[in-house]
Amino acid sequence: MIIEYTIGALAVLLAASGLSTLLHRNARIALASNVVFLALIGATFAYAFATGYYASSAIQVSQFSSLFGVLFSITLIFASVLSYAYSNRFSALSALLSVVAVGVMIVDTSNSLISLILGMEAIAVPTVFLIALESGSAEPAVKFFVMSAMAVAAFALGIAALMAYDPGLSIAFSSISAPVSGLMLLGALLAVAALSFEASLFPFNLWIPDVYQGAKSNITALLAGINKKVAFVALAYVSFVLFAAYIPKLAPAFLALSVLTMFFGNIMALVQKNVKRMFAYSSISQAGYILIGFATATQYGIGASIYQIIAHSFTIIGSFAIILWLEQQGKQSVDDYSALSKRAPLAAATLTVFMLSLAGLPPLAGFYGKFLLFSGAVSGGLLSLALVGILNSFISIYYYGRLMLSIYSNGRPKLIGMPTPITFVMLACLVVVVAIGLYPQPVIAAANSASSYLFGAFNTPASSPAPG
Amino acid sequence: MTILISSLLIIPLAGAILSYLLKERLSQAVALIAAVLVLAMVAGSALFGGLPQQIDSATAGYIPAINVPISFSLGGISLVLSLMVSIVGFAAVLAGNHRRSQVRQANFLALMLEFSALGLFMAVNLFIFFIFWDIGVAVSFFMIYALGSGDNRRAALKFLVYSIAASSLLLAAMIALYVYVPSHSLDYSSISAASGSLPHLIDIGVIAALFVAFMIKMPVFPFHSWMADAYSSASTQGSMMISGILSKFGAYGMLTMFMLMAPSSTVAQYALFIAGISAFYAAFVGMRQLNVKRMAAYTSMAELGIILVGISSMSSLGYAGALYGMLAHGISISLLFLALGALEYMYGDINANMLKGILRDAAATGYTLVVSVFATLGLPLTAGFIADILIFMGATRTFGLAGLIPLGALILVGAYLFVFINRIFPSDGRLRASQHPSAANLIGYGALLFATFALGILPFVLLNAITL
């Protein structure tokens, strides 16, 4: 009992202190309060995860939600620190970020569809303002607003079909007992499509590159590192808990989405000249990889997806930290990055490590994600999906390689020093990516235990023995 | 005794990191000490270890979640190849950097490649093999690009794309084995035990994927087009280590694959056919190269074709010959590239028509070049001779007289190298060196010459170890 209350109280305090920054307007206090409360929430979730705590009342604390609680607390701290680096109106950003953070926690621990929608709105609405505040034009914010409004509408329509069976709209509602009907299937597909907007799955992701490029990079880091991952958490709840009975029908849809998203992201990334846009497409392709585990629909496969979500969050936030720093000096294209290694060897090496991790080279965090996802697909009988994934990770090396060539070329670029907050986020992400890569066991085990909760607690029929 | 294996991995790694962090002069000293220590340990175990199949082995839990232990073994094949790596690594660190440019980076990369090669050759688990394989790829990419010259941008990207293609195939095969080997273990022993009982299609697919991956890496026709560019635009150190050590990743992988998976005799016949084509192709293309480094690259490719002949014979004689061939080729080709690099340093751009008279103007380097050509050809008294004899004895036993056909390629290579030597012998050239090789450079020649003759005159020192 105490853990749910602690988390709830901390979330309220986080929102309150965040909103109070609008009164005192002190950026340092705002940052400190965000970081402290998020750290406390993260520590509580970590304690809940380590002790195997389980509760399902107003909110749901399980292996799954507490693992993601830890992840999101850390990544939200990074996002706050990043925003602190260059902003002269951080107090406003901090208030919005604290609301986003509360929304993330609501989605993560939601026990009913109402709180899920509420949480998603609490994330989307402040994000619109964050994008608008931090970019020169209103266009990306408007685009994001329209897209998320459409997504919420579709989601509400999708779950309306459930009202007839469970007016409480509980997520734990076992749809296995409900008859498999065409209407319910339509609802399930609508809900998946709605979440695909935020999760950046093709063909619902056409807005992504413009918004990612248009927003300032600290917000892009938030979008790619947190908002998108929250969408995957919601997708996991909706498809593997709520519509668990429909998994055999949903898995082919995930398969198609995954293949299309991987190819779309990677092929578009090949032709980009703007680094930020390239990373936007690269992050789309990574969403396609994450979805491989969903298409596999086994406990092992979902564990692989969870691992990949964790690994990718840190990699992409770290990358956008470096991109933010260069963006502030007007450096955006691949050519602008030339000779980065001559003036900023640490940043150059770090970005290289992130790209090698994204490309899936061992011994870095991204490699184990791909190994787990592809081996999950093969053991789930989806050999061709694994081959498509491997083909795609091969394609990706070309654009990462091109940027690496630029970074390590000769020249003497003019660069201003890196602010401490950015250095902190960059190095912290580097340490995580390398540490997970060198010793992935704890993270893989945590991801497996989270996914076994998702499958075990609701006794879905789709689980199958994992190899190893 | 695991202290031997641990220090063989830790010393190059620590040396690499230290030599990157320290100032240039200290860096060179540290790198040299690390290389000498490794050489002393490997040579010591080869001479005094009594040459059993296993001198030392190390096993420890690593990632139990996916059933990957850390497991290494030193002895037999891995000892022979580690000896080659430590000799070439020592010579490259000592002598490979004529201009003393970018000393810290060069030493870092050289020792990292040594680290990856030692790890790869000592690994007895395919997963660990793969990790070291990709470390080698990333390191070589920077060796070609960051330290190279000329058209290094294109060469490096080409190398990266080809190498990642090979890695992807290797990953695909590894995942298939991981899922289909009943114990979900990638230990060589488990793979070998399960190789007969794999589903037919998986067995064929895995062998094909591994075969092509290793063909790319060796390289073997038609996947060789990265090679000449990479060898000729890398730094001297880079081309010594890439041609001497990295190409053995492929050859060693091929040997291991044949020994573990026991492919059918049809596969062996295809392999012989491909090896023959590759050797002849390389001989004909090499003949027409004016750029001496490119000529050396194709000579090396022809030699690797001959090594593949030994492997495809699937007999213990052929295997022993291939292994001895890898040892001999590693030493002779790095000697050749060292001499060519020194000539380039002394005379600027070099091509075959310009080298007239180097024997008078630069006696040490000139005679070393001539001897290294003899060693590459496998003339008696050099290590290559022993290898060729064993390979063709094995090949005739398995394939009859057809096994002797690739010998024709070797004769062709001999013919054009003979023409090349005739061209540089006359003493009436007007070459005047602008630089002179350092003492370190001469010691590098001495070490490699000593190794090639010692292993050619006293082959039984090592041959006892490779009773395969």
Tell whether A52 and A116 lie within a shared domain.
no
What pLDDT sits at residue B458? 80
pLDDT value at residue A303: 93
Check CB contact under 8 Å for B164 and A445: no
| Pair A6, A41 in one domain | yes
Residue of B nearest to A352 (CA): B138
Domain extent for A5 = 1-111
Please indicate, yes or no, whether residues A203 and A120 belong to a single structural domain of this protein. Answer: yes
Query: Given B153, B172, B178, which is nearest A390 (Cβ)?
Result: B172
Together in a domain, A4 and A139: no
Shared-domain flag, residues A73 and A160: no
Q: Tell me whether residue A250 is in a domain.
A: yes
B401 touches A at CB < 8 Å: no
- The three-state DSSP-derived secondary structure of chain B is CHHHHHHHHHHHHHHHHHHHHCCHHHHHHHHHHHHHHHHHHHHHHHHHCCCCCCCEEEEEEEEHHHCEEEEEEECCHHHHHHHHHHHHHHHHHHHCCCCCCCHHHHHHHHHHHHHHHHHHHHECEHHHHHHHHHHHHHHHHHHHHCCCCCCHHHHHHHHHHHHHHHHHHHHHHHHHHHHHCCCCCCEHHHHHHHHHHCCHHHHHHHHHHHHHHHHHHCCCCCCCCCHHHHHHHCCHHHHHHHHHHHHHHHHHHHHHHHHHHCCCHHHHHHHHHHHHHHHHHHHHHHHCCCEHHHHHHHHHHHHHHHHHHHHHCCCHHHHHHHHHHHHHHHHHHHHHHHHHHHHHHHHCCCECCCCCCHHHHCHHHHHHHHHHHHHHHCCCCCHHHHHHHHHHHHHHHHHHHHHHCCHHHHHHHHHHHHHHHHHHCCCCCCCCCCCCCCHHHHHHHHHHHHHHHHHHHCCHHHHHHHCC
Q: Is residue A468 part of a domain?
A: no
Nearest CA in chain A to B160: A401
Domain-terminating residue out of A111, A139, A172: A111
The verdict on A66 and A147 lying in the same domain is no
pLDDT of residue A394: 92
Greatest pairwise CA separation for chain A in angstroms:
68
User: What's this model's pTM, rounded to 2 decimal places?
Assistant: 0.92
Residue A101 lies inside a defined structural domain of this protein: yes
Q: Which of A58, A89, A111 is the last residue of a domain?
A: A111
Give the pLDDT score at B385.
Answer: 87
Closest Cα in chain A to B186: A468
Instruction: Tell me whether residue A461 is in a domain.
Output: no
Clarify whether residues A338 and A449 are in a common domain.
Answer: yes
Q: Which amino acid is at A385?
A: L
Q: Report the number of distinct structural domains present in chain A.
A: 2
> Could you tell me the residue ranges of all domains in chain B?
264-468
A388 with A274, same domain: the answer is yes
Cross-chain CB nearest to A440 (options B63, B153, B172): B63
Contact assignment for A375 to B167 by CB distance below 8 Å: no
pLDDT in tens, chain A (468 residues): 788 888 889 999 988 888 888 888 888 888 888 899 999 999 999 999 999 888 887 788 888 999 999 999 999 999 999 988 887 788 888 889 999 999 999 999 988 888 899 999 999 999 999 998 887 778 889 999 998 888 989 988 888 877 777 766 777 655 555 666 777 888 888 888 899 988 888 888 888 888 988 888 999 999 999 999 999 999 998 888 888 778 888 899 999 999 999 999 999 999 999 999 999 999 999 999 999 999 998 889 999 999 999 999 999 999 999 999 998 888 888 888 888 888 888 999 999 999 999 999 988 999 999 999 999 999 988 899 999 999 999 999 999 999 999 998 888 888 888 899 999 999 999 999 999 999 999 999 999 999 988 876 554 433 333 443
Residues A190 and A328 in one domain: yes
B171 touching A (Cβ < 8 Å): yes
Whether A48 contacts A108, CB under 8 Å: no
Q: What pLDDT does A464 receive? A: 38
Pick from A378, A408, A445: which is nearest to B175 by CB? A378
Top residue of B112, B142, B164, B203 to mutate, by most chain A CBs within 10 Å, is: B164
Chain A CB within 8 Å of residue B208 CB = no
A85 part of a folded domain: yes
Does residue A319 sit in the same domain as residue A373?
yes
Instruction: Tell me which residues of chain A have a C-beta less than 8 Å from any C-beta of chain B.
Output: 341, 356, 359-363, 367-368, 370-372, 374-375, 378-379, 383, 386-387, 390-391, 393-394, 397-398, 401-402, 404-405, 408-409, 439-441, 444-445, 448, 467-468
Residue A444 has its nearest CB partner, among B66, B146, B178, at B66
Q: Tokens 């034009």 appear where? A: A137
In chain A, what residues touch B176 (CB-CB under 8 Å)? 378, 383
Q: Is residue A419 domain-resident?
A: yes
Nearest C-alpha of chain B: how many angstroms from A190?
34
User: Of A89, A111, A133, which marks where a domain is finished?
Assistant: A111
What is the value of ipTM here, to two decimals?
Answer: 0.90
**Whether residue A36 is found in the same domain as residue A129:** no
| The pLDDT of residue B104 | 87
* Residue A467 lies inside a defined structural domain of this protein: no
| Domain match, A197 and A146 both | yes
Collect the ranges in chain B with pLDDT lower than 70. Answer: 1, 49-54, 352, 427-431, 461-468
* pLDDT at res. A467: 40
Among A300, A383, A439, the residue to mutate for chain B (most B Cβ within 10 A) = A383
B165 and chain A: CB distance < 8 Å anywhere? yes
- Structural domain includes residue A16: yes
Q: Are A105 and A7 in contact (CB under 8 A)?
A: yes
Size of the A and B interface in Cβ pairs below 8 Å: 88
CB atoms within 10 A of CB B225: 12
Q: What is the pLDDT of residue B52?
A: 60
